[in-house]
């Protein structure tokens, strides 16, 4: 009688363990999907911010370039045209960030760093563990 009960309990325990494994896997998959969606939304916001900033900076750049060019011609001082050079670099960077391939080049460089320079990514004292977090929590 005890053997049959023990066998039934073992089968139930095994089923429960399998259920917990499937459930934890499903929970982790959902968490990964949620984190990826949050990352995508943050990147979309960053690109949208760059595009919005480009509108304002482009207007400023156009007005400043026209004003500096007119001033340089009227006063016959080519030095007034000098600020246009660094401003054009800022404009080019913003255009590349908003509509160009900068994000793809950055991703490629990040992938390269992860493969060839992985040691630069390590945290001081290593990755936090449950024990290290509990130790810090208990110390408070």
> Taking the model in full, what pTM does it have?
0.72
Q: Identify the pLDDT of residue 3.
A: 61
**DSSP output for 56-105:** HHHHHHHHHHHHHHHHHHHHT-GGGGTTHHHHHHHHHHHHHHHHSSHHHH
Q: What is the dihedral of CA 52, 56, 58, 59, to 10 degrees?
A: 140
Q: Is the pLDDT of residue 53 over 80?
A: yes
Q: Is the pLDDT of residue 20 over 90?
A: yes
Compute the distance between CA of residue 13 and CA of residue 5 in angstroms, rounded to an integer. 12
- The DSSP 8-state label assigned to residue 47 in this structure reads H
Long-range contacts of 40-45 (CB under 8 A, 24+ apart): 43/103
Q: Identify the pLDDT of residue 11.
A: 80
Q: Is 123 helix (H, G, I), strand (E, B) or coil?
A: coil
More confident residue, 137 or 37: 37
């Amino acid at each position: 009688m005890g053997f049959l009960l023990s066998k039934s309990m073992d089968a139930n325990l095994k089923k429960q363990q399998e259920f917990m494994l499937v459930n934890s896997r499903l929970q982790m998959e959902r968490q990964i999907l949620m984190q990826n969606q949050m990352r995508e939304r943050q990147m979309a916001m960053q690109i949208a911010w760059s595009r919005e900033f480009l509108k304002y900076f482009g207007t400023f750049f156009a007005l400043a370039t026209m004003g500096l060019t007119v001033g340089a011609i009227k006063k016959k001082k080519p030095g007034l045209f000098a600020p246009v050079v660094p401003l054009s670099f800022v404009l080019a960077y913003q255009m590349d960030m908003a509509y160009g391939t900068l994000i793809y080049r950055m991703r490629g460089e990040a992938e390269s760093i992860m493969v060839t320079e992985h040691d630069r990514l390590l945290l001081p004292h290593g990755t936090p563990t449950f024990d290290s977090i509990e130790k810090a929590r208990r110390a408070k």
